Amino acid sequence: MSASVQPETGRDAPVTAGGALPSHIAFIMDGNGRWARSRGLPVLAGHRAGAEAVRRCVRAAVAHGVRYVTLYAFSSENWRRGPREVGDLTNLLRYYLRHKVAELHAQGVRLRLIGELGRFEPSLREEMDRAEALTRGNTRLTLVLALSYGGRADILQAARRMAEAAVRGEISLSAIDETMIAGLLQTGDTPDPDLVVRTSGERRLSNFLLWQSAYAELAFLDVLWPDFTEQHFARLLDDYAGRERRFGGRNA
C-alpha cells in the first residue's frame, strides 16, 4: 500500500489497494503544552491547536477508509492539573461539541464518548448527549473520544459488573471468559485497536485501552500533536501495511 499527497490540495490521497488497512487506530494525543510553551504561548493555545489537529486526523481517517478512531482526549489523571487548565479544557470541549459536531455529522462520522463522564458538570453532559444523538446513525467513521478515561478503571468496572451478576445468580463463574470481559468494557461495541499511536516522543501507554491494546501495533512519533497532519496519518498507514501481525504465533 502506498499513500501520497495531492499537490494541488495538500490533502492525502486515498490509500491504494493491495495492503493491510487498520480498521481501528487509537491516538494518545500528547504535546499540546510543549507546543505552546515552545512558542511562548499559553497552554490553552496548544489545546486549541491540538483540537485543529483532531479535525485533520478525522478528515484523513475518512479519506482513507479507516472505520474507527479513538482519541485519548482527557485522562482520569488529567483532573490533577491546575483548575485553570482543567477549566480551559472543558470549555474547549464544550465549544467543539456545540459548534463543530455538525461538521462531523456532515462527514458521516458517528461520535461516541467513553470514560467517567459523570465527573463532568451536567450542562456539559447534555452537550455530550446531544452530540451522540445527532450522529448516532452515521456509519462512515466512528470517532470515540475517551474523556476522564482510565484503562484500569475500565477493567475494574467490568469486573464489578461481572461480580454483581454472579452474586445475583445471572452468570456462573465458569461462564466468565475474555469475550465476556471485552463486552463489558466501555468499548464493548468497538473492535480492539489495530494500531496505537502516541505523539511527542513519549513511549508509554499511560493507562490507555490497556485490555484492548493487548495485540495492537504501537507507533511512537516525535511530532507534537498540534503539528500532526494528514501526511503523518498517511505515513502511519504505510508503516502499518509493512508490518506482519502474528498475534503471538510463530512465522509460517
pLDDT tens per residue, range 81-93? 888 889 888 999 9
Q: Does the pLDDT of residue 105 top 90, yes or no? A: yes
Check the annotation: does 211 bind a ligand. Answer: no
What is 28-241's CATH number, 3.20.20.150, 3.40.1180.10, 3.30.70.120, 3.40.50.450? 3.40.1180.10
Check the annotation: does 251 bind a ligand. Answer: no
pLDDT tens per residue, range 232-242? 999 999 999 99
Check the annotation: does 200 bind a ligand. Answer: no
What predicted TM-score, i.e. pTM, was given to this entire model?
0.88
- For the chain, which residues make up each domain, given as ranges? 28-241
Instruction: Give catalytic residues, as residue numbers.
Output: 30, 78
Q: Please, what sign has the CA dihedral across residues 76, 79, 85, 87?
A: positive
Q: Do 50 and 226 touch, CB atoms closer than 8 A?
A: yes
Check the annotation: does 225 bind a ligand. Answer: no
pLDDT band at 249 (very low <50, low <70, confident <90, very high): low
